[in-house]
C-alpha cells in the first residue's frame, strides 16, 4: 500500500513540476512541443470544416432582397458570403477558399478594382451582364467560368434587362494567411475596353497563337490568358467524352480548366473542373486533401459526404471538406462544376487522394 502511495506522490510531484516549468517558460513566449505534437502532426488530416449545402431555391430570394437595401456601387461588391457552418464569422467556405453569391441588377456597375487575391465567377442565373478584365469585356451566361487572376483590374456591369447572380470563389483566406493582401481602386468606375468579347479565347485557346514577342511574354507566366471559358464551348466536350466511354467511376466524364500555354491549372492557387454524370450514375466513393466546392449546373442527384446525403438541383452549391469520403449519384444526365485549392497543394507537394 505504501509503495502505491509513494508512486502516486512521485507522479503528482512530477506533474506539478512540469506545470510550474511550463508556466515559467510561457512568460518567455515558449511552449513545450511534446504537449502539442499530436495536434500539430496528426496521423491523417482532421478537417475543421463541415459538409454543407446552399440550395438556390432557398437563397435566391435573400440574394435578390439585398438589392433593396444597398446598391452595387455603394457595396462595391454586393455579395452574400457562404460561410461554412463550422467556421462562422470567418468568411470562408473551406479553410483556404472564400465563396459568395454576387448580384448585379440591370443598369448597375460594380466599380473597377484589383487585388492580390485571385477570383473566379461561375454564372448561376441570368444572362447578359459582363465582367471586364484587363481591357476585355466578356458577356456572361449560366455555366460560364470567368477568371480574374491576381492583380488584374476588373469591374462588372449589367446592360441587360434582368438581374444576374453568380458564384464568386477567391483564395482570400490563403492570401491573408500569408499576410500579403493588397488592393487598389481605380479612379474611374469602368476600365477602358481594348479587346472584343472572346478575344482571349480565340487568341490563346484555339490551337493557334498570334505571332509576336508580346504574346510570348504573356504566355510565359503561370496565369491563364483566357478570361471566359464559356459553357457553350465546354459542355459539348463532356458529351464527346461520354460517347468515347471516358467516364470515371468516381467523377463521371470530367474535364479540367487549364492554362492553354502550359496545360496546367488555369490558376496557381485554385483548380476547377466540370463533370457530366450520365443518367443513373452511381459513383464510387472518393476523398482527397483538397476541400471541394461543387455547383449543380444541370440535372439533379445527390452526394453523400461522410454520413450525410445532400440532394442537389441546378444552382445549388455544396462543399465536401478535406479528407472526407464523398460519392455522387445522378437521376437524369447531370453536370457538376467543382473548384478547390488542389493546385496550391500540388505545388507544395502535400496533395493526396484515396478511394
236 in the same domain as 87: yes
46 within a domain of the structure (yes/no): no
Q: What is the pLDDT of residue 283?
A: 98
CA 337 to chain CA centroid, nearest Å: 10
253 in the same domain as 155: yes
14 in the same domain as 156: no
The CATH code of the domain that includes 115 is 2.60.120.10
135 in the same domain as 6: no
Q: What is the pLDDT of residue 1?
A: 55
47 within a domain of the structure (yes/no): no
User: Which residue range forms the structural domain that includes residue 311?
Assistant: 52-354
Q: Which residues of the chain have pLDDT under 50?
A: none
Q: What is the pLDDT of residue 203?
A: 86
128 in the same domain as 170: yes
Total domains in the chain come to: 2
Q: What is the pLDDT of residue 210?
A: 82
Q: What is the helix (H) or strand (E) element at residue 62, kind and residue range?
A: helix 56-65
187 in the same domain as 76: yes
| CA distance linking residue 355 with residue 340, whole number of Å | 18
91 in the same domain as 33: no
45 within a domain of the structure (yes/no): no
| CA distance linking residue 260 with residue 49, whole number of Å | 33
| CA distance linking residue 246 with residue 243, whole number of Å | 8
197 within a domain of the structure (yes/no): yes
Q: What is the pLDDT of residue 355?
A: 78
Q: Locate cell 462543399: which residue?
A: 319
306 within a domain of the structure (yes/no): yes
pTM of the model: 0.93
134 in the same domain as 24: no
Q: What is the pLDDT of residue 3?
A: 54
Q: What is the DSSP letter of 279?
A: T
Q: Locate cell 440532394: which residue?
A: 311
Q: What is the pLDDT of residue 213?
A: 53
Q: What is the pLDDT of residue 285?
A: 97
Nearest to 138 by CA among 228, 22, 21, 78: 228
CA angle at 264 for the pair 195 and 226, rounded to the nearest 5°: 10
| CA distance linking residue 322 with residue 99, whole number of Å | 16
| CA distance linking residue 275 with residue 272, whole number of Å | 10
Amino acid at each position: 500500500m505504501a509503495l502505491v502511495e509513494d508512486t502516486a506522490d512521485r507522479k503528482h510531484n512530477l506533474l506539478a513540476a512540469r506545470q510550474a516549468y511550463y508556466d515559467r517558460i510561457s512568460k518567455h513566449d515558449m511552449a513545450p512541443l511534446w504537449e502539442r505534437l499530436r495536434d500539430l502532426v496528426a496521423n491523417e488530416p482532421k478537417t475543421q470544416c463541415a459538409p454543407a449545402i446552399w440550395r438556390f431555391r432557398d437563397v435566391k430570394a435573400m440574394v435578390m432582397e439585398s438589392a433593396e437595401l444597398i446598391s452595387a456601387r455603394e457595396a462595391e461588391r454586393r455579395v452574400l458570403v457562404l460561410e461554412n457552418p463550422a467556421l462562422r464569422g470567418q468568411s470562408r467556405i473551406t479553410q483556404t477558399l472564400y465563396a459568395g453569391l454576387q448580384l448585379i441588377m440591370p443598369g448597375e456597375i460594380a466599380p473597377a478594382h484589383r487585388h492580390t487575391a485571385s477570383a473566379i465567377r461561375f454564372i448561376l442565373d441570368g444572362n447578359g451582364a459582363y465582367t471586364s478584365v484587363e481591357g476585355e469585356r466578356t458577356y456572361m451566361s449560366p455555366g460560364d467560368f470567368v477568371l480574374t487572376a491576381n492583380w488584374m483590374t476588373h469591374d462588372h456591369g449589367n446592360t441587360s434587362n434582368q438581374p444576374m447572380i453568380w458564384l464568386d470563389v477567391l483564395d482570400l483566406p490563403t492570401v491573408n494567411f500569408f499576410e500579403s493582401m493588397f488592393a487598389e481602386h481605380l479612379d474611374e468606375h469602368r476600365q477602358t475596353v481594348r479587346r472584343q468579347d472572346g478575344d482571349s479565347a480565340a487568341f490563346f485557346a484555339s490551337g493557334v497563337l498570334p505571332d509576336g514577342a508580346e504574346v510570348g511574354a504573356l504566355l510565359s507566366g503561370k496565369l491563364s490568358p483566357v478570361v471566359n471559358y464559356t459553357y457553350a464551348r465546354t459542355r459539348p466536350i463532356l458529351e464527346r467524352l461520354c460517347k468515347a466511354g471516358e467516364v470515371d467511376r468516381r467523377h463521371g466524364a470530367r474535364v479540367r480548366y487549364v492554362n492553354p500555354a502550359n496545360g496546367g491549372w488555369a490558376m496557381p492557387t485554385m483548380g476547377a473542373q466540370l463533370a457530366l454524370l450520365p443518367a443513373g450514375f452511381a459513383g464510387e466513393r472518393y476523398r482527397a486533401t483538397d476541400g471541394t466546392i461543387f455547383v449543380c449546373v444541370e440535372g439533379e442527384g445527390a452526394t453523400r459526404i461522410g454520413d450525410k446525403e445532400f440532394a442537389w438541383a441546378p444552382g445549388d452549391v455544396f462543399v465536401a471538406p478535406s479528407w472526407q469520403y464523398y460519392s455522387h449519384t445522378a437521376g437524369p444526365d447531370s453536370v457538376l462544376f467543382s473548384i478547390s485549392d488542389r493546385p496550391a497543394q500540388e505545388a507544395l507537394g502535400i496533395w493526396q487522394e484515396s478511394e
